[in-house]
Amino acid sequence: MTDSNWSSRHDDRNQLSDEEFRQQLRLFLQANFPREWRQDFHRPFRRLRGPEQKQWLRILNDNGWRAPAWPRHFGGMGLSFRKQLIYHEELEHAGVARVIDLGDSQLGPTLILLGNEQQQQLYLPKILNCEHIWCQGYSEPNAGSDLASLRCSAVLQGDDFVVNGQKIWTTHANDATHIFTLVRTGKFEKKQQGISFLLIDLNTPGITIRPINNLAGEDEFCEVFFDDVPVPKTNLVGEIDQGWRVAKSLLGYERVWIGSPALVSKALELSRQLIELRELDVDCGARDRYAELCADLHDYKLLYTRICNQISDSGREPGPEVSMLKLYASELLQRVTEFNVQAAAEWGGVVGDTVIGDTLTDLHWQYMMARPVTIFAGANEVQRDILAKAVLRLPT
Amino acid sequence: MSDEIFSMLRDSAEDFLSAQVHNDSQTGRIGTPVLRDRKLWAAIAELGWLGVALPESHSGMGMSVDAAAVLCEVFGRKLFAEPYIAGALMPSAVLAESTEPVAFELAEGLVCGNRYLTLAWQEQAGEADSATYATRWDGATITGRKRFVSALEDDGIVLVAAESNEGTVIVALAVEAAGVRYQRLATAQGHYADIQLDGAVPMAPPLLVGAVADAAIMRAVAWARVAASAQLSGIARGCLLATTDYVSQRTQFNRTLSAFQSVSHRCADMLVGVELSDAVWRFAAAEVSVAKQPESLACVYAAKARSGDVALTTGRTAVQLHGAMGFTEECAIGLYLRAAMQYSSWLGAPAAMRRLFLARSGQRDLLMEACND
């Protein structure tokens, strides 16, 4: 990138001390994050999407708080890993609703690492200003945890790839303008070879998007069908047939962010509230279970911090040990949401909004929204395989 | 305390224990109360370990409980059976606070390994945090009953906490003194002694009197909990390593056991437990070593609860994964489980520790309030 205006638009916050950085961000969030979008007992894992998501991301972008991990000369904040952790901690602390911002978290870093200059110049600014909203097209009906078995094909014909096949579990495809995909471009002995990383405009003729309702009743993810979809060959990122490496380089970071203790903290605040509302303080069983969950979160935060600090201090990519984070955080989240449903007694059977005492909750929603966390981004069974093979070095 | 000193301590402990500790010496004594192995005790005195947590004024190395915990983690991994925490660390927390001549003398004997000390404070099961005693000091003699005392030698010295007209006192008493009777119950690597004191006369005037005595006991218990957490964490890690070795070698149905997900996934879960336990005791050790009132720190209770649970779970899973061999005494894997039973029950079992964790982590203890209404 050569646009010096763009890169020098904001101060280099990486130069601040950790504490100054934290204070600045805290003040910014207090002043700028809309109160009505905060996470609360009704929506402890609230996510923004569509126009609300765009509005919030633009506020971040206009104030130089967007894309914490991107280098500054690409328009990001250029934060060290340690400051990224503080960034996420402060968002959590302020109850800022989550966003699924794959342009920032996935595609941007990929283009910065492996994209060519034209691709960087074309796409990165439009990610930052939300002109483009990206979704991720990896999974297929027969390629979930076993992602390398994917079959959606791209065949080069002249200046275009012609894409045919289907993607599934594409989160928020119905809000997106573009999709980054893994497609099969060749057949080799190893199925990880012959996969390419391709960028596709969702307005291209031949694409059909069908939302799928999830167990919580939201149209969170979609099926995306490709029927002779022409994609310019300039949209190939990295080398042809080498897309697996492109995608895999980001999986470690994904597990670190999914492993964040933030959601568990929110769910456990709801537990505390339910204990008070239902006067369960005198119930030894409920108290002991609550104490166990609190201790689990306490200890997990220490492990999370330690592993994050090791990554930060070493300057290396996250190793296979981050599977522990995804594994434990997701299962703890489920245990806390299960406690909440049990603590609510009959209220736990209500599907939808309900008011307990003076508190608006939706226990079914938090319970169901905790389900997929053990499934996506590598099912927990796969994470256990990774720990056994790559950390404990057990022979198979 | 610098990381470099810690790694030196850890390395020297690993070298020494790999050469000196043989698990076969622990077989054939299930249910038998065990005393110090005096040769080993003298050897670790020689290495300076017994005085790690004593100040230099008291013949010690002037380090803190975090250094002792580093050693205890290795003790756990290597199944080192000497009662380091009860016999060196806890007496150190008391002696360090006393300026009585006898305290300096005892500290020197402790560090040299020729005086065998222990601390007797507890009187009931599960009363890990009571600071009141039925044992009485009348100014000349001591009468009462102490329970769950580890590391009691027939020719040793027991530091006894008692009530007096001036509040809590701690006196040093020769185990051989008239009016001292005791019985030992076996634990995995040592014993719990039940001590009856009937007008026993201590060696000297009280070491500590009043609030400073209470604070010393609280500190000794908090230190011991953190060190026991480190030891339990080491027990769990040693047990996990032994198990992954075994399932990587043993073949059934023409496959190594580790090729079965039912086996490898349990190993993965053990790993997560061990790493959680490791993260929390290290944090607690660092906090406790600089805290004025370590008993007020929630992380101490979290560490003791986690490490106890993890060591027991790992021990049981390991026995299962060793199959029938795991149920035999000659297979060392059971030693880890038995050691876990000792250190998880002593100084507060996991469930009790979690209640105290909750109470100390700034949350109002509404149950206690309700009970007191």
Q: Are residues B366 and A396, on separate chains, in Cβ contact within 8 Å? A: no
Q: Are residues A385 and B264, on separate chains, in Cβ contact within 8 Å? A: yes
**A392 interfaces chain B, CB cutoff of 8 Å:** yes
Nearest residue to B346 via CA among B173, B145, B141, B150: B150
Can you read off the two tokens belonging to residue A75? 């328009």
Q: CA–CA separation, A165 vs A150, rounded Å? A: 10
Q: How many CB atoms neighbour CB A321 within 10 A? A: 20
A245 — pLDDT class (breaks 50, 70, 90): confident
pLDDT computed for residue B1 by the predictor: 53
What is the rounded average pLDDT of the residues B184-193? 96
pLDDT computed for residue A4 by the predictor: 42
Contacts of A387 in chain B (CB under 8 A): 267-268, 271-272
pLDDT computed for residue B139 by the predictor: 95
Q: CA–CA separation, A218 vs A132, rounded Å? A: 23
| pLDDT one-digit tens code per residue, A106-143 | 899 889 988 999 999 999 999 999 999 999 999 999 99
pLDDT computed for residue B23 by the predictor: 74
A3 — pLDDT class (breaks 50, 70, 90): very low
| pLDDT one-digit tens code per residue, B111-128 | 999 999 999 999 999 876
CA atoms within 13 A on the CB side of B205: 6
- The DSSP annotation for A84-148 comes to HHHHHHHHHHTTPPEE--HIIIIIHHHHHHH--HHHHHHHHHHHHTTSS-EEEE--BTTBSSSGG
Q: CA–CA separation, B179 vs B137, rounded Å? A: 13
Q: How far is CA A380 from each of CA A223, A383, B259, B296, rounded to the nearest angstrom?
A: 23, 5, 17, 37
pLDDT computed for residue A250 by the predictor: 75
Q: CA–CA separation, B124 vs A137, rounded Å? A: 63
Say yes or no to pLDDT of A238 above 70. yes
pLDDT computed for residue A181 by the predictor: 96
Nearest residue to A65 via CA among A83, A48, A46, A82: A83
Can you read off the two tokens belonging to residue A73? 């000369």
Lowest mean pLDDT segment, chosen from A125-139, B242-256, B349-363: B349-363
Say yes or no to pLDDT of B67 above 80. yes
What is the rounded average pLDDT of the residues A63-81? 92
Q: How far is CA A49 from each of CA A64, A101, A369, A371, B53, rounded to the nearest angstrom?
A: 21, 9, 16, 20, 56
Contacts of A299 in chain B (CB under 8 A): 276-277, 279-280, 302, 306
B133 CA: distance to closest CA in chain A (Å): 27
Helix (H) or strand (E) holding A263: helix A262-277
Say yes or no to pLDDT of B364 above 80. no
Q: Are residues B275 and A287, on separate chains, in Cβ contact within 8 Å? A: no
pLDDT computed for residue A61 by the predictor: 95
Q: CA–CA separation, B237 vs B274, rounded Å? A: 6
CB A284 within 8 A of CB A350: no
**B271 interfaces chain A, CB cutoff of 8 Å:** yes
A88 CA: distance to closest CA in chain B (Å): 21
Can you read off the two tokens belonging to residue B161? 């906490």
Say yes or no to pLDDT of A7 above 60. no
**A282 interfaces chain B, CB cutoff of 8 Å:** yes
**B241 interfaces chain A, CB cutoff of 8 Å:** no
pLDDT computed for residue A23 by the predictor: 96
- For chain B, give the percent of residues with pLDDT over 90: 87
A256 CA: distance to closest CA in chain B (Å): 15
B363 — pLDDT class (breaks 50, 70, 90): low
Structural domains of chain B sorted by starting position, each given as residue range(s) with its CATH number in brackets: 212-372 (1.20.140.10)
Q: For the stretch A105-114, what's the b/e string if a residue is b when 16 or more beta carbons lie within 10 angstroms of its beta carbon?
A: bbbbbbbbeb
Considering only CB atoms, B259 lies closest to which of A303, A321, A395, namely: A395
CB A297 within 8 A of CB A268: yes
| pLDDT one-digit tens code per residue, A158-167 | 999 999 999 9
Q: Which residue has the tokens 């409980």?
A: B65
Q: CA–CA separation, B52 vs A261, rounded Å? A: 36
Q: Are residues A291 and B358, on separate chains, in Cβ contact within 8 Å? A: yes
Strand partners, A211: A222
Considering only CB atoms, A303 lies closest to which of B244, B275, B358, namely: B275
Considering only CB atoms, B305 lies closest to which of A282, A295, A387, namely: A295
pLDDT computed for residue B373 by the predictor: 40
- For chain A, give the percent of residues with pLDDT over 70: 98
Selected residue of B354, B357, B371 to mutate for chain A interface (largest A Cβ count, 10 A): B354
| pLDDT one-digit tens code per residue, A316-362 | 888 999 999 999 999 999 999 999 999 999 999 999 999 999 999 99
Considering only CB atoms, A394 lies closest to which of B258, B275, B361, namely: B258
The one-character DSSP state at B345 is: H
Contacts of B269 in chain A (CB under 8 A): 384
pLDDT computed for residue B368 by the predictor: 47
CB B306 within 8 A of CB A295: yes
Q: How far is CA B226 from each of CA A22, A41, A205, A246, B89, rounded to the nearest angstrom?
A: 32, 36, 65, 45, 11
What is the rounded average pLDDT of the residues A71-77? 93
Contacts of A313 in chain B (CB under 8 A): none
Give the chain B residue nearest A299 (alpha carbons): B280
Lowest mean pLDDT segment, chosen from A73-82, A284-293, B79-88: A73-82
**B226 interfaces chain A, CB cutoff of 8 Å:** no
pLDDT computed for residue B339 by the predictor: 97
- For chain A, give the percent of residues with pLDDT over 90: 81
Taking one residue from A and the other from B, the number of pairs with CB-CB distance under 8 angstroms is 108
| pLDDT one-digit tens code per residue, B99-158 | 999 999 999 999 999 999 999 999 999 876 777 899 999 999 999 999 999 999 999 999
Q: CA–CA separation, A224 vs A226, rounded Å? A: 7
Q: How many CB atoms neighbour CB B240 within 10 A? A: 23
Q: CA–CA separation, B314 vs A69, rounded Å? A: 38
Give the chain B residue nearest A276 (alpha carbons): B366
pLDDT computed for residue B127 by the predictor: 72
A2 — pLDDT class (breaks 50, 70, 90): very low
Selected residue of A392, A393, A396 to mutate for chain B interface (largest B Cβ count, 10 A): A392
Say yes or no to pLDDT of B10 above 60. yes
Chain B residues 350-369 with CB within 8 Å of chain A: 351, 354-355, 357-358, 361, 363, 366-367, 369
Chain A residues 289-328 with CB within 8 Å of chain B: 290-292, 294-295, 298-300, 302-303, 306, 321, 324, 327-328
Say yes or no to pLDDT of A214 above 70. yes
pLDDT computed for residue B128 by the predictor: 67
Give the chain A residue nearest B249 (alpha carbons): A395
Q: CA–CA separation, A39 vs B146, rounded Å? A: 53
**What ipTM goes with this model?**
0.92
CB B180 within 8 A of CB B333: no
Average pLDDT across chain B, whole number: 93
Say yes or no to pLDDT of B284 above 60. yes
**A390 interfaces chain B, CB cutoff of 8 Å:** no
Nearest residue to A114 via CA among A243, A251, A252: A243
